[in-house]
Amino acid sequence: MKLYIANKNYSSWSLRPWLVLKHFGIAFDEEQLLLSGDGWKERIEKISPTGNVPLLVDGDLKIPESLAIIEYLNDKYPAKGIWPSNRVERALARSAATEMLGGFRALRSNAPMNLKASHPGKVPLELVARDLKRIERLWADLISRSGGPFLFGSFTGADAMFAPVAARIRIYALPVTDLAAEYVDALYALPAFQEWLAAAIAEPWVVEDDEIETIIARREAASGL
């Protein structure tokens, strides 16, 4: 199997299935397709049917989209425990992952993942407060059921889906409850996350469109400031 990913510093969607593969000890090759440079979009479009990464290739099969990749890995390696074994917990895990897939757009658009950066105070709280409140409540509900440290006790695909949210909370020093902060710490302490983080910090590339200064400038231009 091969997983195509983008820049580790910026690509939150690439991080998610990569964490699952690494944490659960599934052998794979990876190839990085950068989000910058001449013809970068064309290079991705030649490989990925959606023109996006991540993309998992297993033999002749091409699977785009983070959550679909995680589901495929769960089906191929059922003994790994990528989703909780209990039917109810598994349903809750998939529900949380799907909410992450389509939700929290204010947080995602105003606080881009940038693992090398530290930007406290650069994201106006009023723009992301509603998303943070929902995230805190969701995490608290699940951890209170499981006892932690992860959403369902041990690490699952649901935690992989929320790892980039944890990164955003730390990068921008967003205020969250003590329980949410402890969950962020648990994700950061995960060996697979630490491996990705070290590689992200070592990357030399800068993608200006994903830097917070560019996001702020676009927002101010749109508001006429």
pLDDT for residue 125: 97
- Kindly list the averaged pLDDT for each block of 10 residues, start to end, along the chain of length 225: 97 98 98 87 91 96 97 98 98 98 96 97 97 98 98 98 98 98 98 98 94 92 76
Q: Which residues of 80-114 are buried (b: 16+ CB within 10 A; e: fewer)?
A: eebbbeeeebbebbbebbebbeeebebbbebbbbb
**CATH numeric code, 2-80:** 3.40.30.10
Helices in the chain by DSSP H: which ranges?
12-23, 40-47, 66-76, 87-102, 105-110, 125-146, 157-171, 178-189, 191-202, 212-223
Give domain limits for the chain: 2-80, 87-196
pLDDT for residue 225: 57
pLDDT for residue 95: 98
pLDDT for residue 38: 81
In CATH terms, 87-196 corresponds, of 3.40.109.10, 2.40.40.20, 1.20.1050.10, 1.10.3720.10, to 1.20.1050.10
Q: What is the pTM of this model?
A: 0.96
